[in-house]
Amino acid sequence: MEQKGALPSELREAADVLDPSILTIGFARRMATYKRATLLLKDVERLATILTNKDRPVQIIMAGKAHPEDVPAKELIREVAHFLKDKDVKRRFVFLEDYDMNVARWMVSGVDVWLNTPRRFLEASGTSGMKVAFNGGINLSILDGWWDEAFQADVGWAIGKGESLR
């Protein structure tokens, strides 16, 4: 934010974002429509209720980068940015721009739960989920890529039962 010329008040506000004592869900990858980054936004009222729950709050860190020519992927990022303008959730849902290996390194070692929601049979491997597991995190994923083979109920959760929904 400093590099982009943020005001001192914006920097102070950013210091209050994310709480290490709150359940943290991570979602980071190259943005592509089949990865369904905006699936969380299908019911924004419910998501806002979960994020702002006084007794059991949740926070989400999302990072991604679209290919310069991938207009639909850029639209996904715009949808997330639009959602984040809501004052009720902006302290509990953060989007990190310029996703790269360094951001990924910090995320996979710092989240509690790694969320993966691709369309089934389109995920090549899902190496970020593997890295989260090696760092003590739990996976919550569609049964695709590595999670289809590695899923065990005592080390994470499966979304669905392996069906392919379009």
Residue 66 backbone dihedrals phi, psi, to 5 degrees = -95, 145
Q: How many domains does the chain have?
A: 1
Q: Residue 123 domain-assigned?
A: yes
How does residue 166 score in pLDDT terms, banded at 50, 70 and 90?
Answer: low
Q: Residue 49 domain-assigned?
A: yes
Q: Residue 3 domain-assigned?
A: no
Domain that includes residue 113, residue range: 8-159
| Residues 15/8, Cβ–Cβ less than 8 Å | no
Tens digit of pLDDT for each residue in 110-163? Answer: 999 999 998 888 877 778 888 898 899 999 999 988 898 889 888 899 998 888
Q: Residue 117 domain-assigned?
A: yes
Q: What is the pTM of this model?
A: 0.89
Tell me the CATH number at 101: 3.40.50.2000
Q: Which two tokens stand for residue 70?
A: 């991938």
| Residues 11/2, Cβ–Cβ less than 8 Å | yes
Q: Residue 2 domain-assigned?
A: no
Q: Residue 71 domain-assigned?
A: yes
Q: Residue 58 domain-assigned?
A: yes
